[in-house]
Structure 1
């Protein structure tokens, strides 16, 4: 599992509010800011980050197997959601936050622990003032398309995010 210098935790709200989405994501990837706690158990991490396009990579392990001995679709969906949502996040201005409000995923090929590194790129299709849409494509280590998805995100002021943050 990849770890960062800043470890795992939450970015302080005043720091998150002062940064653009692309700068915050790069700070997490580069270890200057903590990765979200959820990242500690998913075995996936940020790879490349540009405004409107983000790639995550993940290492499937037997710990993510379903009863049939293949990687659970929930792990693949998490990788898709992370890439697509982060693509939207990368396009946000300081003071903006987002939440996924709809997501679809289509799985084309099974994945196993020996499938190698999985990469998933999310791209913003449209960024409005309140709603954004993104698409995601996931490839195995051989470069074969294994899944794709679509996502809709709500954009809102960061001060309206969960108060326990």
Structure 2
């Protein structure tokens, strides 16, 4: 999947990392994003459960898509903070569903949250903060 295309108007397509992990974008509407993933054995830690880094990446991706869904054209909202709570083990071979939504949106800061479920049970949650930047900025983090 190329990052030159949009998932929805003004929302960039997933980059190569999300594609590598097999994340599937299913929808974005009204500040809510829906993403799925099929974890396999290659996504597990030594104990045979889905690695926390895989879950964190899914939460990061979903909160980011939710945040981008409400931005003005030409703006971006890179993460500046992601807090993850792991609730229970996720098992390979069963679909993970991640739902994210915007909690608060301002001119400079947007907050979003996401929750991963597997078979209807919560696996992990996240709260994210995003810095809203316009295309007029030279680079993220540019003071000027």
What interval of TM-score do these two structures reach, taking the shorter chain for normalisation? 0.7 to 0.9
Normalised to the residue count of structure 1, the TM-score between the two structures is 0.77
2:63 is aligned to: 84
Is the contact between residue 133 and residue 150 of structure 1 (CA under 8 Å) also seen in structure 2? yes
Deviation at 1:22, TM superposition (A): 4.2
SS across alignment from 2:53: helix
Structure 2: state its 5+ residue gaps.
none
Q: State how 1:4-153 maps to structure 2 within 5 Å.
A: 8-11=1-4, 22-25=8-11, 28=13, 35-114=14-93, 116-140=94-118, 142-153=119-130
Distance, in Å, in 2 between the alignment partners of 1:97 and 1:161 is: 12
- Aligned 8 A contact 2:10 2:74 in 1: no
- Could you say which structure has the higher strand fraction? 2
Of residues 42-51 and 124-133 in structure 1, the stretch that sits farther from structure 2 once superposed is 42-51
TM (normalized to structure 2)?
0.88
Query: What is the CA-CA distance between 1:159 and the residue it aligns to?
Result: 4.3
Contact kept, 8 Å, 1:104 with 1:150, in 2: the verdict is yes
After the TM superposition, which parts of structure 1 deviate over 6 Å for at least 4 consecutive aligned residues? none
**Structure holding more helix per residue:** 1
Distance 2:136 2:3 in 1: 15
Distance 1:92 1:122 in 2: 15
CA distance in 2 between partners of 1:159 and 1:74 (Å):
33
Counterpart in 2 of 1:4?
none
Count of aligned positions? 140
Question: What is the CA–CA distance in structure 1 between the aligned matches of 2:60 and 2:9, rounded to whole Å?
Answer: 19
Matches of 1:59 and 1:24 in 2, distance apart? 27
Counterpart Cα distance in 2 of 1:37 and 1:99: 16
Match of 1:89, SS state, is: helix
